[in-house]
Structure 1
């Protein structure tokens, strides 16, 4: 703390006191001395701000990174999937199955289509079930769905086979009684291999199991089903009943909406109104919705951490004011004004907030990078958030120190010296 020396032209009158002044250099020096005087306490005090600012950076970074990954996965799978539903038009009662027999081929000719096929759920008669033995009431029984599917539908679903193979156009055109089981259904029926040519019985009809599907890129619910060729199902149980058929189409990236527009006409040029194509939703809207939901959730947690950090700084600064009452009194006796005491304690709390902000920004950025490296993601961090995060810590420390600094400035010098 320094005092201003008046020159000859500004010499004070004999009864006039000199006014003290606190330079910026002295203010910074005093603040650093106050912070470093008790390093352990200062570190614990800044911890709340570190957590708050670190959470802020981590939340924004992980939200952006996760949203980017969701967008990419959506583009790879959902954005390349089109569903065509059989509505039957206005005379649905007269057109139980609007898809033609060569529906797979017709849609497969469209540009951008990689695979397409028709499927529907077969409604079995009462008392019929899927069994592993011909005699009713013996062997393993699975209460599972029976799905009629064309070969293209299985290809469009992207199967990963644990055993055997899927049926092909030959099986479909010759109404072969073959079946492909989902892994869960095969386990319930006790079928672990297809090398012994096992069979399942649907009602009294035997179907040779030629493949077991372990996973599917699309339509994972099919893993709980028994799949048979479309023509076989139509021959044995007739066309779809209450649940109408639909077509699953896998497309190249960027072709889904065009294929959705062209598919109904390609299927039945004379009656495209018999079908309703459902293109994938906009991936940008999905990413925005996911990002907003995650951001709102975790930003609340970051805000709570910042509040806790500001309360910790305020409490520690207030305790420091009480412990340093004698020091405050001595400074006031030597000429320090109330505004100087206020500035000193504000500078200390602001320094703690800025320190916590800097460490928190580094910790949050490192968290995003480490999580992305473990998950093999590409980290996405907003440079503006990284640049402004230390200022957020500084503001937290400044606000937290307002009340303690005001209390320190109001302590009477005489009372302070007596303590």
Structure 2
């Protein structure tokens, strides 16, 4: 004789019973759902803000660093030099180049005693230790600076070998020179130079702010700086890698491999790196919040099972199977998790958009995250309700009915 089959429970009836169980204690359900809301919202906010901030950081990084290329030419005393001052013209013709300038410096001119007058008082300071460099006439644009006073030397000054100089703004401050209308002079190594301008706002090669900048011809005649040691190139966004490959050939066609090129990393890799670092830093917070929410659902579901022992015993006595009892409590916990996921995802999206708007950023949101968050909440609720549902299913009808109500 075969055992009678358990009656099949319609899924709609199962859903009705689970929903009734959730709504029977609305305040408890709301507080339980809050844990999942916080967990899901934290995850969405973390990933959304990380992606938005990563995009913004890369955008700011691109404004200067990602468009800057530097070509370094090794220089030995007495050699003919690998790069000529006129080589910048060939680089300027490359596609994607916005500005280019050449610089020359050396160890012997890195610390030169410079004075603002030629009178040395007894016991007075011998001057300021400043770097002396040579540069082409388009240096201000290449270093993204601006003339704070006077003007930069031009091709006429270069052609005439004029003994003129331009000071970085910090160097001018150290020497006590604030204006150039009266043609102030500076002195070093027994030579005098007329200061015709002060260069400020330097964004590239900021050490030039404490330097004395001479025309190339004057520097070659007076301090031995004959050949460029560095070429500064500013490119359009996205052209840096291409210019970095072509610039050595344009500067030294016969020996491009002897030049060292300093180019920015690929922007896509930088963006992924920034997003990855920020995500890994803050994602733990979201996971911890989600685990706390899961524990809250498990505790409340377990308490609910203990409070409804008599109901479980009655259902089992009326023919409900262990599977049906387990499914009811699993569905209740999954429903709480699903509601928490929906509310948490919506809250997270709103917070990300508000943060981006407050910072004047462009919000970056992955639609898969927003759509997957409710499912993640339901899965958390399902896992959290697994143990309480199994405990409810293992109750014997007789023992459950005997339990105190």
Is the contact made by 1:117 and 1:152 (CA closer than 8 Å) also made in structure 2? Answer: yes
Give 1:17 deviation, angstroms: 7.8
CA distance in 1, matches of 2:7, 2:298: 28
The answer to whether 1:46 aligns with 2:33 is: yes
Residues 187-206 of structure 1: pairs in structure 2 closer than 5 A: none
Give the counterpart of 2:348 among 361, 364, 374. Answer: 364
Match in the other structure for 1:159: 145
Aligned pair count reads: 398
Residues 92-131 of structure 1: pairs in structure 2 closer than 5 A: 92=76, 94-95=78-79, 97-123=81-107, 128-129=112-113
In structure 2, the CA distance between the partners of 1:163 and 1:22, relative to structure 1 (3 Å rule), is farther
Give 1:223 deviation, angstroms: 6.3
The answer to whether 1:285 aligns with 2:269 is: yes
- SS of 2:225's equivalent in the other structure is coil
Is the contact made by 2:341 and 2:375 (CA closer than 8 Å) also made in structure 1? Answer: yes
In structure 2, the CA distance between the partners of 1:303 and 1:127, relative to structure 1 (3 Å rule), is closer
Give 1:85 deviation, angstroms: 1.3
Identify the range of structure 1 (131-140 vs 62-71) with the bigger mean alpha-carbon deviation.
Answer: 131-140
Identify the range of structure 1 (340-349 vs 50-59) with the bigger mean alpha-carbon deviation.
Answer: 50-59
Is the contact made by 1:144 and 1:224 (CA closer than 8 Å) also made in structure 2? Answer: no
In structure 2, the CA distance between the partners of 1:132 and 1:316, relative to structure 1 (3 Å rule), is farther
CA distance in 1, matches of 2:131, 2:222: 16
In structure 2, the CA distance between the partners of 1:57 and 1:51, relative to structure 1 (3 Å rule), is same
Is the contact made by 1:351 and 1:397 (CA closer than 8 Å) also made in structure 2? Answer: yes
Residues 142-291 of structure 1: pairs in structure 2 closer than 5 A: 145-160=131-146, 165-173=151-159, 174-182=161-169, 208=195, 210-216=197-203, 218-219=204-205, 221-222=206-207, 224-231=209-216, 232-239=218-225, 245-269=229-253, 271-272=255-256, 274-291=258-275
- SS of 1:248's equivalent in the other structure is strand
The answer to whether 1:81 aligns with 2:65 is: no
In structure 2, the CA distance between the partners of 1:262 and 1:411, relative to structure 1 (3 Å rule), is closer
In structure 2, the CA distance between the partners of 1:45 and 1:235, relative to structure 1 (3 Å rule), is farther
Q: Deviations over 1:247-303 (max 9, x none)?
A: 101233454444444433433445545534444432223223333333333333332
- SS of 1:376's equivalent in the other structure is coil
Q: Deviations over 1:148-178 (max 9, x none)?
A: 4333233112125555554444444434432
Give 1:384 deviation, angstroms: 2.1
Give the counterpart of 1:36 among 9, 19, 23. Answer: 23
CA distance in 1, matches of 2:312, 2:62: 65
CA distance in 1, matches of 2:126, 2:67: 38
Is the contact made by 2:200 and 2:209 (CA closer than 8 Å) also made in structure 1? Answer: no
Give 1:307 deviation, angstroms: 1.9
Give the counterpart of 2:360 among 357, 360, 376. Answer: 376
Identify the range of structure 1 (288-297 vs 129-138) with the bigger mean alpha-carbon deviation.
Answer: 129-138
Match in the other structure for 1:395: 379
- SS of 1:151's equivalent in the other structure is coil
CA distance in 2, matches of 1:302, 1:179: 55
In structure 2, the CA distance between the partners of 1:261 and 1:47, relative to structure 1 (3 Å rule), is same
In structure 2, the CA distance between the partners of 1:415 and 1:214, relative to structure 1 (3 Å rule), is same
Is the contact made by 2:54 and 2:274 (CA closer than 8 Å) also made in structure 1? Answer: yes
CA distance in 1, matches of 2:255, 2:5: 100
Q: Deviations over 1:108-135 (max 9, x none)?
A: 3444432211224454579844566765
CA RMSD of aligned residues (A): 3.8
Structure 2 length as normaliser, TM-score?
0.80
Give the counterpart of 1:297 among 273, 281, 293. Answer: 281
The answer to whether 1:23 aligns with 2:10 is: yes
In structure 2, the CA distance between the partners of 1:407 and 1:155, relative to structure 1 (3 Å rule), is same
Q: Deviations over 1:81-126 (max 9, x none)?
A: 32211035xxx45427433233333433444432211224454579
Structure 1 length as normaliser, TM-score?
0.78
Q: Deviations over 1:294-332 (max 9, x none)?
A: 333333333232222212211222222233334434444
Match in the other structure for 2:305: 321
The answer to whether 1:385 aligns with 2:347 is: no
Is the contact made by 1:141 and 1:188 (CA closer than 8 Å) also made in structure 2? Answer: no
Is the contact made by 1:48 and 1:308 (CA closer than 8 Å) also made in structure 2? Answer: yes
Instruction: List gaps (5 residues or longer) in structure 1.
Output: 1-11
